[in-house]
Amino acid sequence: METQQLIALDNQHVWHAYSAIGADLPIFPVASANGVHLKLADGRELIDGMSSWWSAIHGYNHPVMNAALRAQIEKMSHVMFGGLTHEPAVELATRLVELTPAPLQTVFFSDSGSVAVEVAMKMAIQYWHAKGQPTKQRFLTLRNGYHGDTFGAMSVCDPVTGMHSLFSEVLAQQYFVDAPTCRFGEMSGGDEIEPLKQQLEQHGAQIAAVILEPIVQATGGMNFYSADYLRRVRALCDEFNVLLICDEIATGFGRTGKLFACEHAGISPDIMCLGKALTGGYLTLAATLTTEKVSGTISQSEPGLFMHGPTFMANPLACSAALASLKLLTESDWSANVLRIELGLKSGLAPCCELAAVADVRVLGGIGVVELNEPVEMKTIQPLFVEHGVWVRPFGRLVYLMPPYVISDEDLVELSAAVVRVVESL
């Protein structure tokens, strides 16, 4: 198909993420991808600064990943996960239990991060129902958070900045407190945690769980907050007898410099959500892990089972991709590699600190953020990045980078320099 024909048909028929049909926004057809480079249909090559929304941590067209999928597809591409099981799913569940903090012991597979959050919320509600406390059906969360686009997940996103205010009248009403302002690396004062404590004191009988993104509030603002605050949240959940759900969909698998972001605080949640980088960006797959206390209570009480079951859960191809991705990650010196990227981002983005358009520059692990004073104009800024040979997808006031872990120092320098040049032009 000719490029212009493809774009015309795309504009006519295809809805992209957070887009409008016929919006007349620039769109760039990709012909192929290899390593950290996207090759456009017109022949231009771009350094990918987004890891395809933070998932393609090993880059594209990786020979080990490709081989794992070829081997699995010769056996079976899919089989239902009701009454049947298969080795990739069992091996993956076992591996996730080994890698995640104790006492997470049981794994429920689903199709996407949003569904993993739905599953976590249903687990929490069903757990308290089984414990004879059916009034505990609501959730306490942080403003500036984002947990997905399905209805349960939308209800715990920030009601103002979470992109879902249109649906506010039909969403379940949850409890919110202001996000912590104590930055990563700082201690959290008593005043910082007090609003959350007050909500638990007043509404603990209705709250099933606190749900939050540990350390990094991603889509809600790329805020990096204190590990000490997270430790205090864990302690308050224990004190007031509510569960803690950590949404590690964006932060899991090394992105913050720890394998899981909650490890910065030395805590473990009662329920953990994983997705995005789980399969190295090859296929959609998510997982919700919980403790034997939670899973056992649900399983041994009426109705005697957990009330959820996606058609494509534990897809063998996706599980095989996840196993290959985890092997690549854990058998590498991933921690040193993420530190290398962190240092490169700090150095490369530092010139932005002097620019008038910039409010803040912050870096943690493999995440670099340039926060602007004003929201970006996508119709203008997106082509500018492409012209500079990089793929960066800003939103709101945030220009951010989450490159694949395999990015070279040279490409990292070029990627950061392109961000500086584009921001200088604003």
How far is the C-alpha of 154 from the C-alpha of 163, rounded, in Å? Answer: 9
Active site residues: 18, 146, 247, 276
Place of tokens 């959609």: 284
Closest CA to 267 of 295, 296, 293, 245: 245
How far is the C-alpha of 196 from the C-alpha of 34, rounded, in Å? Answer: 46
Q: Return the half-sphere exposure (C-beta side, CA atoms, 13 A cut-off) of residue 188.
A: 24
3-state helix, strand and coil shares in percent for the chain, rounded to the nearest 5: 40, 20, 40
Cα 117 to Cα 59, 111, 213, 282, distances in angstroms: 26, 11, 11, 21
DSSP 57: T
How far is the C-alpha of 36 from the C-alpha of 30, rounded, in Å? Answer: 13
- Give the Cβ contact number of residue 168 at 10 Å: 13
How far is the C-alpha of 383 from the C-alpha of 302, rounded, in Å? Answer: 56
How far is the C-alpha of 394 from the C-alpha of 352, rounded, in Å? Answer: 15
Q: Is there a contact between 289 and 244 (Cβ–Cβ < 8 Å)?
A: no
Place of tokens 């290959």: 324
Closest CA to 198 of 231, 167, 176: 176
* Most distant CA atoms of the chain, gap in Å: 62
Please provide residue 89's backbone torsions phi and psi, each rounded to the nearest 5 degrees.
-70, -45
Q: Is there a contact between 415 and 386 (Cβ–Cβ < 8 Å)?
A: no
